[in-house]
Amino acid sequence: TNDEGKEKKRKENAGAEYQKALTELWEKADRDGYDERAKGIDVNDNQKQFKEAMYSALCALCQNGQLGPCEMMLLTGYRDGANNLVAYKLQVHHNDDDHPDTFPLNEEEEIAMGDSWNDWCEARIPKRLIEQVTPADEPHNLRNADGVPVLGDVNLEQLTPAALTKVLTDFLRALWYHSWPQDCVRPSIPLVEIEVHPEDFYDTSKFLFPVALKPVEMMLLIERYSLCTYLSTISAVETVHPFVFWPKKNIVDRVARREAEAEAERGTGDEIVVSTPPPATSAAPISPANPSTPPPATPAAPISPAKAPAPPSTTPPAPILPVQESVGTPALEEHIPVPMVNDEGELPAEEAEVVPRRRGRKRAADEVDTRRVTRARVAEQEPAQVQTRGSKKTAGKKRGSVRH
Neighbour-count burial of 357, counting CB atoms closer than 10 A to its CB (0-12 exposed, 13-18 middle, 19+ buried): middle
- The per-residue pLDDT for 333 is 44
pLDDT of residue 116: 92
33-62 burial by CB neighbour count: b if 16+ within 10 A, else e?
Answer: eeeeeeeeeeeeeeeeeeeeeeeeebbeeb
Q: Is the full-model pTM beyond 0.85?
A: no
Residues 6 or more apart in contact with residue 174 via CB below 8 angstroms:
132, 141, 149
Kind plus residue range of the DSSP H or E element containing 31? helix 31-39
Report CA-CA distances (Å) from 195 to 179, 184, 201, 209.
17, 21, 10, 11
- Host H or E run for residue 253: helix 248-266
CB contact set of 130 (below 8 Å; sequence gap of 6+): 81, 82, 83, 142, 143, 147
Average pLDDT by stretches of 10, the chain with 404 residues? 58 58 63 57 82 86 84 89 84 73 76 90 80 44 84 85 90 90 74 92 95 92 93 89 93 92 74 50 47 50 48 53 47 47 46 48 49 54 50 49 46
Any bridge partners for residue 74, and if so which? 90
Q: What are phi and psi of 141, to 5 degrees?
A: -90, 120
Q: Specify burial of residue 170 (Cβ count, 10 A radius: 0-12, 13-18, 19+).
A: middle
Of 109, 118, 60, nearest to 89 (Cα)?
118
Q: What 3-state DSSP class applies to 90?
A: strand
Output the pLDDT for position 26.
Answer: 63
- Which residues, 6 or more positions from 271, have their beta carbon under 8 angstroms from its beta carbon? none
Q: What are the helix (H) ranges across 101-214? A: 107-124, 161-179, 191-196
Radius of gyration of the chain (CA): 59
Run of H or E including 233: helix 221-234
Q: So what's the pLDDT on residue 142?
A: 81
| Residue 246: φ, ψ to 5° | -60, 155
Predicted local confidence at residue 346, as pLDDT? 46
Relative to beta strand 130-131, strand 141-143 is: antiparallel
Given a contact cutoff of 8 angstroms between Cβ atoms, the answer to whether 64 and 94 are in contact is no
- Contacts of residue 189, defined as CB under 8 A and 6 or more positions apart, other chains included, come to 172, 173, 175, 176
pLDDT on residue 327: 45
Closest CA to 150 of 178, 125, 123: 178
Distance between CA atoms of residues 270 and 37, nearest Å:
73
pLDDT of residue 28: 61
Q: Which pLDDT belongs to residue 39?
A: 56
The SS3 of residue 387 is helix
With H, G, I as helix, E, B as strand and everything else as coil, classify residue 92.
strand
